[in-house]
Structure 1
Amino acid sequence: MKINANNPGEYISQLPDERQEAFQKLRQTILDHLPEGFEERMSYGMIGYVVPHERYPAGYHCDPKLPLPFINIASQKNFIALYHMGIYADPDLMEWFTTAYPLHCKTRLDIGKSCIRFKKVNDIPFELIGQLVSKVTAEEWIQCYETRLR
C-alpha cells in the first residue's frame, strides 16, 4: 500500500476508513510516550520518529542526509506495521517485548527483525506500545546505534 503524503495527517486521511481510527490512536500513543529528543516526520513513505540532525549530525549511516530513524508506522496491504529499530538492535528489549506481549494481547505475536505486524486493528496493544516507546531515550538510541555500527 503506497501512500504519498507530506505530513502525518495527510497520510492518515488516505488510509481505508476501517484503519484510520486505530492508526490515529497508534500515532497518538507513540506521541504521548515518545521521549524528548525524537521528532515525528515523514520518513521512507511512512510516519517516522527520528533523531534529528540537530541532535545527531552524523545522520543515518546508509544515507547521512537522513536523520537517524528509530520508529516508523505504516499501513501495509494486509496489516498495520510498527517498525521499532530498538527491538532489532537490543536483544534485551526484544526479550522484554516478546515476554510482555501475551500479557496484553490474545493473538500470536507476528514479528520480524524490527517489524511488528497487526492484521486486525482491534489487536493492537496500545498500552504495551506506549511502554515500548518510552523505554529508550534518544541518547540511549544513539549509543546503541553507534555500538552496533562498530
Structure 2
Amino acid sequence: MQSNATTVSAYLEEIPEERKYAFLKLRDTILTNIPKGFSEQLSYGSLGYVVPHSIYQQGYHCNPKLPLPFISIASQKHFIALYHMGIYADPELLHWFVAEYPKYSSQKLDMGKSCIRFKKFDQIPFDLIAQLSRKITVKQWINRYETLINKSK
C-alpha cells in the first residue's frame, strides 16, 4: 500500500489509528539507534532511511537520482513492514536476526528476503529492532553494497 504523501509528516498522518502507536514507536526506535549519516525521507511511498547523495553521490544503481536505500518502514494493508537491506545483503546478519528473534517475540517470524512483517502490533520486538538498526554504519553499508554490485557486473 503505497502512500501519495509528499512529506514524512503527511505520511505519518495517514497511519491508521489502530497501528499509529506501534508505527511511531518503530520509527522512534530506528531514529534513536541508526548510526549517524543515514537520513530519513520518503522513499518508494514509505519512510526510508537512506545514505544521502551528500555522502554517496552515486546513488542507488537502479535509479542513481535516488539515494542509496538501507531501511524502510511501511504501513501495509494487513501489517507493518520493516525492510532492511542489510539482512538481504549479509547472510551473517540474517542468521543473527533469525536466531535472536524468538528471544524477543512469541510470534512466529514472518519474513521475506528483506521484509519483516508485523501483523500483531503489540508483538513488535522493539529492543531487537534497536539492535538491528545499530549493526551497520553508513561506511559498512556502502562497502557491502558496492561489493555486491561489483560482483553482479
TM range (shorter): over 0.9
* Structure 1 residue aligned with 2:65: 65
Q: How far apart are the structure 1 equivalents of 2:96 and 2:9?
A: 32
The letter for the 2-side match of 1:13 is: E
Shift of 1:123: 1.2
Shift of 1:9: 2.0
Q: Percent identity?
A: 59
> Which whole-Å deviations, capped at 9, do the CAs of 1:50-107 have from their partners, x for residues lacking one?
0001100000000000000000000111100000000000000000000000000001
Unaligned runs of 5+ in 2: none
* Structure 1 residue aligned with 2:38: 38
Unaligned runs of 5+ in 1: none
Shift of 1:7: 2.0
Higher mean Cα deviation, 5-14 or 48-57?
5-14
Q: TM-score, normalised by structure 1?
A: 0.98
Q: How far apart are the structure 1 equivalents of 2:28 and 2:148?
A: 30
Q: 2:83–2:116: 8 Å Cα contact kept in structure 1?
A: yes
Shift of 1:8: 2.0
* Structure 1 residue aligned with 2:47: 47
3-state SS of paired residue (2:113)? coil
Count of residues paired in the alignment: 150
RMSD (Å) for aligned C-alpha atoms = 0.7
Higher mean Cα deviation, 12-21 or 76-85?
12-21
* Structure 1 residue aligned with 2:86: 86
Q: How far apart are the structure 2 equivalents of 1:55 and 1:29?
A: 23
- Listed as ranges, the matches of 1:1-150 within 5 Å are 1-150=1-150
Shift of 1:15: 1.4
The letter for the 1-side match of 2:71 is: I
Shift of 1:4: 1.6
